[in-house]
Amino acid sequence: MNIPWFCSFISILALTDVLASEKNKCSEAESDLMKYIKWQMEISKGGCNSPTPQKCQCKTKEGRTIAFQIMLNAAMKNLPKEAVVKFDKVITNIGGAYNPSTGKFTCPEDGVYSFAWTTMTYSGSRFNSEFVVDGTIKAYNFNIAGNSHRSSSQTAVVELKKGNKAWIRTYSTHGFLIEGRWSSFSGFNI
């Protein structure tokens, strides 16, 4: 018995079982993987004349693409406690869910979203911030520069409902200085 082949075969069977248990909830990529695995198993049984895998027919995730990438046009100084950081230079805003005039993302449909932000501050300064959803803190970003400029990044993955609002704001009273061009905020649905 060829042990590596047998181990591969058992792994394929286990993966097939896991993917099959999802029934019609699978994504197109998962379904295509499943068909590819079955096709590989057919090849191992019947040789090169086995049929090629077919396109996935299972249902894909409902919804549309929501994504944004926003930068800060200019430096902001001495922001008050819990001030919204209004990232205002739109790079991408697919779905129009981010409003640069308010600095807030309004969730257009239920789902899981990934958000990331980067702040850059000058030598001897600081800029501490937090990511909030409808006023509830979900993540923090601490940025204090020593003898040189410093940037700091953070990511948050959250489940949102249609109408929830998400934004970046200053943490406590530490919104002393955030540099434009090097600071950004982005998000997308998963």
The fold adopted by the segment(s) 67-189 is Jelly Rolls (2.60.120)
Q: For residue 190, what pLDDT is reported?
A: 92
The first and second tokens of residue 64, run together, are: 């549309």
- What pLDDT does 185 receive? 97
Length of the chain, in residues = 190
Check whether 122 has a pLDDT greater than 70.
Answer: yes
Picking from 48-62, 83-97, 123-137, which range would have the lowest pLDDT averaged per residue? 48-62
Question: Does the pLDDT at position 109 exceed 60?
Answer: yes
Which whole number is the average pLDDT over 102-118? 97
User: pLDDT tens digits, residue range 15-28?
Assistant: 445 444 444 444 55
- Report the pLDDT value the prediction gives residue 174, as an integer from 0 to 100: 63
pLDDT at 150: 84
| Under 8 Å between Cβ of 188 and 116 | no
Quote the pTM value. Answer: 0.66
CA distances to 29, 33, 43, 52, 65 from 56, in Å:
8, 9, 19, 12, 20
Predicted pLDDT at 57: 39
